[in-house]
Amino acid sequence: MSENIERRRFLKGMGAASLILGPMGCSSVKDDNEDANKPHYVMVFDQNKCVGCGECKEACNVANNLPDGKSKLLMEHQSGGVEGQACPHCGKEACNCERKFVRVSCQQCKNAPCVAVCPTGAAHKDPKTGIVTMDASKCAGCKYCIGACPYNARFINEETDVADNCDFCLNSKLAKGELPACVQQCKYDALIFGDANDPTSYVNKLLAVKDSVRMKPQFGTEPSLRYIPVVKLGV
């Protein structure tokens, strides 16, 4: 099965409609039981700003030396068209006219099932930042982490034989004091990254005033990737 089809299960599983803002999906800045003295790195994807150019994905592939056909990040086009219903924009059925995109990547769960099931400790949380990452030298290739991830966000990197995930560019960028490659690359300010526990950070202030949602909150994974869904005026 191709990577794209496999990873599309991510969207199918969470349902495109889950990016519609609802009272149950809204998240505050701080998680329950969170130690506010420790950093909590979050990424915010603002669907209102994303134009679907895909430059974030290309930047990620280069920064993380990913082999052809593999990616830590996919951009999915969400269509507003539904079979049997006229599109509110163009009037056609099952059209593809709505320009709405969604980021598909590791959700950086605070309660990460991939870490819990890994028998070797390869999938782990970086003790300093709390970011879910991999110790390539410990990965046995058993794929338990891939099976345990409710977001289908992990994949085997054939170049390294390691089950890979987006780790917010922990080693490739953050270790050098830089922002993640995708965030640096986005010209449209659709990606925002920072420490949500730092009251002076932009991301802290943004999440305090903007409603955001998390994918599949019912799993209790507490993702650190937040989505600001498209807001339709007059709805």
List interacting residues with ligand SF4 (CB under 6 A): 50-56, 59-60, 63-64, 72-73, 75, 101, 105-109, 112-114, 132, 149, 151, 153-154, 165-166, 168-169, 180-182, 185-186, 188, 190-191, 221
Nearer to ligand SF4, 80 or 164 (CB): 164
What residues form DSSP beta bridges with 163?
156
Nearest approach, Cβ of 145 to ligand SF4 (angstroms)?
6
Nearest approach, Cβ of 70 to ligand SF4 (angstroms)?
11
- Say how far apart CA 73 and CA 1 lie, in whole Å: 18
Nearer to ligand SF4, 7 or 154 (CB): 154
Nearest approach, Cβ of 159 to ligand SF4 (angstroms)?
15
Q: Is 8 helix (H, G, I), strand (E, B) or coil?
A: helix
Distances (CA, A) of 54 to 65, 75, 118, 189, 219: 17, 7, 32, 13, 29
Nearest approach, Cβ of 86 to ligand SF4 (angstroms)?
28
Nearer to ligand SF4, 28 or 111 (CB): 111
Nearest approach, Cβ of 92 to ligand SF4 (angstroms)?
25
Nearer to ligand SF4, 92 or 128 (CB): 128
Helices (H) and strands (E) in the chain, counts: 6, 9
Nearer to ligand SF4, 4 or 85 (CB): 4
Classify residue 218 as exposed, middle or buried by CB count within 10 Å of its CB (0-12, 13-18, 19+): exposed
Do the beta carbons of residue 183 and residue 58 sit within 8 Å?
Answer: no
Do the beta carbons of residue 172 and residue 63 sit within 8 Å?
Answer: yes
